[in-house]
A and B are shown apart, each in its own frame.
Chain A
Amino acid sequence: AQSVTQPDIHITVSEGASLELRCNYSYGATPYLFWYVQSPGQGLQLLLKYFSGDTLVQGIKGFEAEFKRSQSSFNLRKPSVHWSDAAEYFCAVGAGSSASKIIFGSGTRLSIRP
């Protein structure tokens, strides 16, 4: 069965420091992978997505993610975080018929230290 694991429940980084959020997936075929961000009281916003091609994907707000098939990973990175990046981040995989069913990880809450 398809699944997504985000091993870090909560991460705190200093403003200006680099960030890496981990994501591992389990899926039999070529996965469709996503990263979403959810700020308090708001809905989800898509940061980036991977379907095929270049394994390094650029997203909005300066985020990028790298697909590594051998490690079944799709880690999210940002070279320098801003206080406004504090939020909950979800990794997800597209599954089901036409991959319309999106399976989410449990999320990683990111706090920023001033």
Chain B
Amino acid sequence: KAGVTQTPRYLIKTRGQQVTLSCSPISGHRSVSWYQQTPGQGLQFLFEYFSETQRNKGNFPGRFSGRQFSNSRSEMNVSTLELGDSALYLCASSKDRAYQETQYFGPGTRLLVL
């Protein structure tokens, strides 16, 4: 079956703009988590959604937000982009709770903020 897909794969934005990233989980998976990966900070948890509800949130400013739709697809939005938001954004899906079920990661969206 198809894996986790993320669109777009690459994105270039300028400071102050906003961006929306999309994640389609594996069919049947209801949990979607988002992570930011940077050389300096490593992999950091952003948030997790399950059945359209945010279940957990990491330590990121309010400029980072997300949502999940009834078909489990998820989007994350970053408003007022800063240079430091340049990163690889990874999405992962699992059937249910992330710690009980294997999380499958997508290839990521690489965001460059100029």
- Contact present for A44 and B105 (CB under 8 Å): yes
1/0 per residue, CB under 8 A from A, across B24-41: the answer is 000000010101000000
A94 partner residues in chain B, CB cutoff 8 A: 98-99
Stretch with Cβ within 8 A of A (4 or more), from B42-50, B62-70, B74-82 = B42-50
- Contact present for B105 and A45 (CB under 8 Å): yes
Contact A102/B33 with A46-B102, A96-B56 known, Cβ cut-off 8 Å: yes
Answer whether residue A76 sits at the interface, using C-beta atoms and an 8 A cutoff.
no
Answer whether residue B55 sits at the interface, using C-beta atoms and an 8 A cutoff.
yes
| Chain B residue nearest to A49 in the complex (CB) | B102
A4-51 residues with Cβ-Cβ distance < 8 A to B are 32, 36, 41-46, 49, 51
- Contact present for B31 and A100 (CB under 8 Å): yes
> Contact residue range for chain A?
20 to 34
How far is the CB of B45 from the nearest CB of chain A, in Å?
Answer: 5
- Contact present for A101 and B45 (CB under 8 Å): yes
B89-103 residues with Cβ-Cβ distance < 8 A to A are 90, 92, 97-100, 102-103
A41 partner residues in chain B, CB cutoff 8 A: 107
- Contact present for B105 and A100 (CB under 8 Å): no
For the complex with contacts A32-B99, A49-B102, A102-B103, 20 further pairs of A-B residues with Cβ separation under 8 Å are A43-B4, A43-B90, A43-B105, A43-B107, A43-B108, A44-B105, A46-B103, A51-B99, A96-B56, A97-B55, A97-B56, A98-B56, A98-B98, A101-B48, A102-B45, A102-B99, A103-B45, A104-B42, A104-B43, A107-B43
- Which B positions have Cβ atoms within 8 angstroms of A? 4, 31, 33, 35, 42-45, 48, 50, 55-56, 58, 90, 92, 97-100, 102-108
Q: List 15 A-B contacts (CB under 8 A).
A: A44-B92, A45-B105, A51-B100, A94-B98, A98-B97, A98-B98, A100-B31, A100-B33, A100-B55, A100-B97, A101-B56, A101-B58, A102-B98, A103-B45, A104-B44
